[in-house]
C-alpha cells in the first residue's frame, strides 16, 4: 500500500488512536490542552532524525504535528479532536498515530515498540470527565517513551465499553481488517503494553513514513442510570368498626353491638387488642367472638379482647348482646359506646371515625302528686 493510501485512511478513519504504555488509571481532571511529552528534539519531513525516535516531526502531511498523536472522533463524523462530548447511543474511535522518524537510508529499526491506553472501561469507574493518556515506548528509541492525551466528557456520569482494538499500516489496511491487538495488553493496568510492528506484531518498526501506522480503538459510552427505588416495604394497616342494631330503645330491651377488626394492610398483624368499655346501664350482657386465631380476654369481663394473629385480608368479629335496665331514671339517656384497637405492627388504625355508636333511651316521667276526694255523707235529705 502506498503512503498516499494510508494518508487517505487517516483522513477517513478516526484520527487519534490512544495507545497508553505505563499510565493505567483513568483520572477525572480538568481538560488539558496539548498535553504531550516529554520535551524532545523536533524534526521535519525534509530533515528527519538520525536515530530511532517516534512522533517528533512537526509537518507530517497526514497528521501535522506528530506530538499530538492521540485524538478522538465520533463514528460517522469526519475530523479528529482532543476533546469529545459523549452521547447516548453513539460509538467513538480513539486513534494513536505511530511513526518512527529515523531516516529511511539509515535502515534503522525500533524494537519492542509497544502501545498502551488508559481507557476508563471498568464497570466500577464513573465520572463526568476523563483524561485519556496514550503511551508509545521502544527499547532503542530516544526518548524511550512518549505520551499524549485526549479528554472524554459528558454532563452525566459514564465509563466506556471497548468494542475492538486494531493496528493498521500499509501491510494491513482498513480494507483487510488490520492487526488485532490484545485488550489485556493494551488497556490493562501494570502491563508493558501491546506489541506493534510492521509485517507482524513483533515490536519491530523501521524508520520512514511508509512504515507508519495507527492504533484504532472503537468504544461506546455507558451512562450511569438511576437505580429503581427498592420495593416498597409492605405496610401494616387495620380498621376497627362498631355498629349497633338500634339507635333508640326502651328500658328492658336488648341492643346488639358488632365490633369488626379488619387487616387492611399487606402484613400479618399480631396481638390485635380491641378495647371496649360497656356503658353501665345494663342488666345482663353476652358476647361471641369469631376470629382466625387464638383469642384471650373478654370485653364484658375486663373490657379487652386480644387476637393472637390477624392475617392479611382477614377479619375478626365480636358480637355483644346488651340488655338495658328496666328501672332507670326518667328522661333521655344516651348510651354511647366506643371501640379501640392496637397491634404490634401499627398503633394507629386507618379510620377511627367508625368506632363509636349511640343509642338513645327516652323514659317518660310521671307526675309526683295524687288527687283524692272524700264526702261526709253517703245519704242526705232536701235542705241538708
CA dihedral sign of residues 75, 79, 80, 81: negative
Q: Which residues, 6 or more positions from 357, have their beta carbon under 8 angstroms from its beta carbon?
A: 242, 243, 244, 257, 336, 337
Residue 94 backbone dihedrals phi, psi, to 5 degrees: -105, 130
Confidence of residue 346 (pLDDT cuts 50, 70, 90): confident
Work out the average pLDDT over 133-153: 97
**Share of the chain residues as helix, strand and coil, in percent rounded to the nearest 5:** 5, 40, 50
Would you say residue 17 has pLDDT above 60?
Answer: no
Contact status, residue 239 vs residue 349, Cβ threshold 8 Å: yes
Per residue in 271-284, pLDDT tens? 999 888 877 777 77
Structural domains of the chain ordered from first start: 3-223 (no CATH), 238-363 (2.60.40.1530)
User: So what's the pLDDT on residue 371?
Assistant: 67
Confidence of residue 5 (pLDDT cuts 50, 70, 90): very low
Q: Record the cell numbers describing residue 97, joined without a space.
A: 498515530
Give a three-class secondary structure readout of 125-145: CCEEEEEEEEEEECCCCCCCE
Work out the average pLDDT over 85-99: 97
Of 235, 256, 260, the closest CA to residue 341 belongs to: 260
Per residue in 45-65, pLDDT tens? 999 999 999 999 999 999 999
Q: How much of the chain, in percent, has pLDDT values that exceed 90? A: 51
Confidence of residue 33 (pLDDT cuts 50, 70, 90): very low
Per residue in 216-250, pLDDT tens? 999 999 999 988 888 888 788 888 898 999 889 88
Amino acid at each position: 500500500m502506498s503512503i498516499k493510501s494510508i494518508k487517505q485512511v487517516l483522513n477517513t478513519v478516526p484520527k487519534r488512536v490512544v495507545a497508553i504504555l505505563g499510565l493505567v488509571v483513568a483520572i477525572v481532571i480538568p481538560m488539558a490542552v496539548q498535553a504531550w511529552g516529554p520535551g524532545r528534539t523536533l524534526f521535519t519531513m525534509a530533515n528527519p532524525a538520525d536515530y530511532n525516535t517516534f512522533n517528533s516531526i512537526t509537518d507530517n502531511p497526514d497528521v501535522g504535528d506528530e506530538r499530538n498523536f492521540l485524538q478522538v472522533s465520533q463514528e460517522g463524523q469526519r475530523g479528529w479532536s482532543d476533546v469529545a462530548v459523549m452521547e447516548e447511543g453513539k460509538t467513538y474511535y480513539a486513534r494513536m498515530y505511530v511513526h518512527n522518524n529515523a531516516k529511511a537510508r539509515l535502515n534503522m529499526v525500533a524494537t519492542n515498540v509497544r502501545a498502551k491506553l488508559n481507557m476508563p472501561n471498568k464497570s466500577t469507574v464513573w465520572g463526568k470527565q476523563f483524561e485519556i493518556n496514550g503511551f508509545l515506548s521502544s527499547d532503542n528509541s530516544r526518548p524511550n517513551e512518549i505520551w499524549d492525551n485526549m479528554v472524554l466528557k459528558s454532563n452525566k456520569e459514564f465509563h466506556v465499553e471497548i468494542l475492538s482494538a486494531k493496528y493498521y499500516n500499509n501491510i494491513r489496511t482498513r480494507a483487510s481488517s488490520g492487526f488485532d491487538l490484545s485488550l489485556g495488553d493494551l488497556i490493562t493496568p501494570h502491563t508493558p503494553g501491546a506489541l506493534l510492528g510492521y509485517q507482524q506484531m513483533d515490536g519491530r518498526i523501521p524508520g520512514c513514513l511508509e512504515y507508519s501506522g495507527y492504533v484504532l480503538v472503537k468504544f461506546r459510552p455507558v451512562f450511569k442510570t438511576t437505580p429503581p427505588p427498592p420495593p416498597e416495604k409492605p405496610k401494616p394497616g387495620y380498621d376497627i368498626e362498631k355498629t349497633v342494631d338500634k339507635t333508640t330503645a326502651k328500658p328492658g330491651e336488648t341492643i346488639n353491638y358488632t365490633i369488626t377488626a379488619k387487616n387492611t394492610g399487606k402484613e400479618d398483624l399480631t396481638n390485635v387488642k380491641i378495647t371496649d368499655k360497656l356503658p353501665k346501664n345494663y342488666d345482663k350482657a353476652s358476647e361471641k367472638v369469631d376470629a382466625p386465631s387464638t383469642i384471650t380476654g373478654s370485653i364484658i369481663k375486663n373490657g379487652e379482647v386480644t387476637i393472637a394473629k390477624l392475617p392479611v385480608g382477614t377479619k375478626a368479629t365480636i358480637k355483644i348482646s346488651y340488655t338495658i335496665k328496666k328501672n332507670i331514671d326518667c328522661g333521655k339517656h344516651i348510651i354511647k359506646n366506643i371501640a379501640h384497637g392496637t397491634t404490634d405492627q401499627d398503633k394507629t388504625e386507618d379510620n377511627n371515625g367508625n368506632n363509636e355508636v349511640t343509642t338513645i333511651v327516652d323514659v317518660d316521667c310521671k307526675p309526683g302528686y295524687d288527687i283524692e276526694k272524700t264526702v261526709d255523707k253517703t245519704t242526705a235529705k232536701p235542705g241538708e
